[in-house]
Amino acid sequence: MLIESLPQLFEGLKITLGLTILSLLLGSVLGILMAVGRVYGKKPLVFFIYIYEKTLRGIPLLVIFFLIYFGLSQIGINFDPFTAAVLGLGLRSTAYQAQIYRSAINSIPTGQMIAARSMGMSKLKAIRYIILPQVLRLSIPGWSNELTIVLKDTSIAFSIGVIDLMRQGRYIYSVNHELVLQVLLIIALIYFALVFSINKGLNYLEKKYKMTGFEIEIER
């Protein structure tokens, strides 16, 4: 019975991964834009981003989900559960990722920007070719942390009806009551294995793309 339910869990896993990838992508793109806007932008923009970050980091994910899925539908804006979940996870991740990139930008010496501008690069070009390549390298550790949080938090999307790994599991044990513990353990194991292997992979990336001379090596 347990073996037979595995393909069903696999279907759920695909949704979970889709959710993770799409919301991370959304969070990364918007997060980078917001970090750049907050550091280099003009006052009103900086203020807007500041408020955005504070707000989205201050609301529980479940509330964000319900607001987007049930709340917005009351004023005629309807999303299917999957889209609502991607938006919820992505917009929240944006707020956290913006922090990661912003602290990385701030850690880059101002001389880098000054040198780029002195050679005739526009501000945008300097950000694109000089600042961001360094920022992204420095952001890998923070980003991999965020990735695991998003991946695990996709499980909350089952609350608005996304048929992800968690919900597929629920389907299985709600008809086979004797399997509750086993199914949940399998689900936990799947999440764990994913997080573990992704972290391993990102560690490798971090080492591969580290800037020479920026490693911290102390012999003793």
Partner 1 sequence: MNMLKVENIHKIYGKTKVLAGVSFTMEKGETKVIIGPSGTGKSTLLRCINQLSPPDKGRVWLEGIEVTDKKTDINLIRQKIGFVFQEFNLFNHLTAVKNVSIALEKVKKMEKEEAHKEAMNELKRVGLKDQADQYPSQLSGGQKQRVGIARALAMNPVIILFDEPTSALDPELIGDVLEVMKSLAGEISMLVVTHEMGFARNVADEIIFMEHGVIAECGNPDKMFKNPEKKRTKEFLGKISSLYGEE
Torsion angle of the four alpha carbons 78, 83, 88, 90, in this order, in degrees rounded to the nearest 10: -140
Residue 44: partners with Cβ closer than 8 Å, 6 or more residues away: none
Residue 101 φ then ψ, to 5°: -70, -35
Q: Does 133 bind partner 1 (CB under 8 A)?
A: yes
Give the shortest CB-106-to-partner 1 separation in angstroms: 15
Stretch that binds partner 1, among 97-105, 155-163, 183-191, 209-217 (CB under 8 A): 209-217
Alpha carbons 52 and 79: distance in angstroms, whole number: 22
- Residues 147/24, Cβ–Cβ less than 8 Å: yes
Q: How far apart are CA 157 and CA 160, in angstroms?
A: 6
- Shortest reach from residue 24's CB to partner 1, in Å: 23
Q: Is 174 exposed, middle or buried (0-12, 13-18, 19+ CB in 10 A)?
A: exposed
For 195, left (φ over 0), alpha (ψ -120 to 50), or beta? alpha
Query: Nearest approach, Cβ of 125 to partner 1 (angstroms)?
Result: 6
- Asked whether position 206 contacts partner 1 by CB under 8 A, the answer is no
Question: Is residue 116 part of the contact set for partner 1 (CB under 8 A)?
Answer: yes
Nearer to partner 1, 128 or 152 (CB): 128
Closest CA relative to residue 61, chosen from 162, 153, 161:
153
> Closest CB to partner 1 among 108 and 149?
108
7 binds partner 1 (CB under 8 A): no
Q: Of the candidates 44, 58, 76, 120, which one interacts with partner 1 according to CB under 8 A?
A: 120
Task: Verify binding: residue 213, partner 1, rule CB under 8 A.
Answer: yes
Q: Does 121 bind partner 1 (CB under 8 A)?
A: yes
Short-list 54, 62, 84, CA closest to 72: 84
Residue 104 DSSP code? H
Q: Least separation, in Å, of the C-beta of 131 and partner 1?
A: 10
Residues 84-113 that bind partner 1 (CB under 8 A): 109, 111-112
Q: Which of 178, 214, 217, 220 binds partner 1 (CB under 8 A)?
A: 214
Residue 207 Cβ, how far from partner 1 at the closest point, in Å?
15
Cα–Cα distance measured from residue 37 to residue 75, given in angstroms and rounded to the nearest whole number: 30
Residue nearer to partner 1 on the CB measure, 24 or 132: 132
- Interface ranges with partner 1 (CB under 8 A): 109, 111-112, 114-122, 125, 129-130, 133-134, 137, 211-214
